[in-house]
Amino acid sequence: MRLDKFLCKSTELTRAAATECIELGAVSVNEQTITESRFQVHENNSVVWQGERLVARPSRYIMLHKPLNTLSSNVDGDYPSLFHCIDIERAEDLHIVGRLDADTSGLVLLTDDGRWSFEIIRPEKQCPKTYRVTLRDPIDDDVAAKFLAGVQLQNESQLTAPAQLKLVTKNEVLLTITEGRYHQVKRMFAAVGNRVNGLHREQIGSLTLDVELGLWRYLTPQEVADFL
């Protein structure tokens, strides 16, 4: 963890104030003064500020049911930030693990544990994500086989990784992918001549969305561990 972030997680300092303290030489790690905010702190390090050894608050892991027309961002833009749905202290310390477009609803994970989120989003992990997709046109019978083999997205040279398609109705499917390319689901269906009219993420890894629209809950220790 970065030293400035560690200070924020173990004190009431803002990120700017933590950075200032570090640059002024007021923080030591293992009895060595550190003036670089990006310095990496490990679990067994002794971090001291104002004569006191600091202990970071426990990390938080949250499932949120993102509504439509909200942004996967810490700040408002053309639409309000999804952080308006989360009523906890120091929500600004959280970051989003795998963003959704404004016009997409469903499961979003948030945490202040950067190592945990990296384990989910790094490409080598191939963490599956399942979407319920509503389509403009009835789906062709050969699309499942095409997605399993990989399709060519516009302006990309590499085929998509194998994806699983399950038919719900002729205009609604469940799609499971293991990548996170830009607008990937929409572009996959565009590649086979269809259009996504509605998109909702139901599952990430073994975690299935189980809270009502706009609400959230903390993950259990076992749910957190399942991603490691």
**pLDDT, tens digit, 9 for 90 and up, residues 50-69:** 999 999 999 999 999 999 99
Q: What is the mean pLDDT of residues 175-180?
A: 96
Which pLDDT value is given to residue 29?
A: 97
pLDDT band at 185 (very low <50, low <70, confident <90, very high): very high
Percentage of the chain beyond pLDDT 90 is 93
**Whole-number mean pLDDT of the chain?**
95
Q: Which two tokens stand for residue 13?
A: 């300092």
DSSP 36-88: -TTPBP-TT--EEETTEE--PPPP-EEEEEEPTT-BSSSS-SSS-BGGGG--S
Catalytic positions, written as ranges: 101
What pLDDT shows up at residue 100? 96
pLDDT at 43 over 90: no
Q: What is the pTM (predicted TM-score) of this model? A: 0.88
Distance separating alpha carbons of residues 108 and 183, to the nearest angstrom: 16
The CA dihedral of 196, 202, 206, 207, to the nearest 10 degrees, is: 140
- As given in the structure block, the two tokens for residue 167 are 């038919």
pLDDT at 40 over 90: yes
